Structure 1
Amino acid sequence: MADDTVCSGVDRAALLPEDKDYVYDFGQNPGRFADRKTFPALVGTGGSLAVGILPPCGMSFLHIHPRSAELFAVIEGHVLTEGVFEAGVVRADGKQRVVRTDLGPNMMTVFPGGAFHTQMNPECTNATVVAAFPSEDPGIALILPQTFALDDDWLKTQFGDVSTEEIAGLRASLPTGLFLQVEGCKKKCGIQTE
């Protein structure tokens, strides 16, 4: 039964014999992301789900999900989003199409599979969000850190007239982790700058 695509519902139920095998507690899991690895009951369902708190002035790194679309909903708070569709999706003026949304409670948006996107909480209180994926394993690719993992010569070709020192400076300035804080918003909210 190595290939779960041929596993029947009866086989799957036998692998998960306890009722507790069908419960995922987002509050007890630091990643707050239920996928086929963290919640085996999802195997064969074709879906996964994340529940999160976007802190005041918090912003997710620009990212994509290479194997899934994302259905993104705000439960509590206020979230701004931006998504860039694949090449060739352009506005009437021929420029790249960027979808910008302003979401409040009980509102959602969708990021098509492979679309670059980010979310930001512009307020001084937490925002509670849910992200659903029509894939058991949507994956995540962080655009800037992964771009700057390329060799300097490759980056120089991609970015044009940049020096090795400029590339090193950009690499060194990239924040780590999945979330950032927006400086202007932090000042508005009185959040200490580190």
Structure 2
Amino acid sequence: MKRLFYLVDQMDSVESISEDLHNEGITDWRFHVLSRDEAGLFTRKLHSASIFDRTDLARYTERGAIAGALFAMAFIVTAKLTGALVLPAVAWVALFLFMTAAGAWLAGFGGIGVENYRIRRFHDAIENGQHLVMVDVRKKDEQRMKELMASNHPDAQLQSEDSAFNNPLVEEDGKVHIL
């Protein structure tokens, strides 16, 4: 899946885009709008961006799970090799799962307060009253969607394209960073 990012100036245009996307079979689950005017989105029954679209909660949680799993592996291997802790196999698995979950949970607290890395570059535009329209399309439908938007909504400018899935190791500069 690919996510297309469009900036739009008017809420009427966003509503028209929503109608066209619905007519093309794009459901609310694959179409999100990020706007400072949340009341306008609600009034017009437009699908507002979720907390996962707004914040880095998912990406930080994934990073925390990776870090927790690595820490758990280091702890368990050290404990097994030194014989410092003697536990049945099921206890080692439970300990690994607990430490992985704890890492994810703790990191999630950091992610909930951070703007999503993919929309950070649109922050000023959104604060200045523009609306960010995010459309998730299959690769085979991508060109048709771009043509539809260009012909029916010339005021919606394609700003960026990205994967619809989070990558816990990629920063907004597009480079992979290891924790």
Same fold (TM over 0.5): no
Q: Which has the higher contact order (CA 8 A, sep 6+)?
A: 2
Rg larger in structure? 2
Higher strand share: 1
Normalising by the residue count of structure 2, what TM-score does the alignment of the two structures yield?
0.22
Higher helix share: 2
Normalising by the residue count of structure 1, what TM-score does the alignment of the two structures yield?
0.20
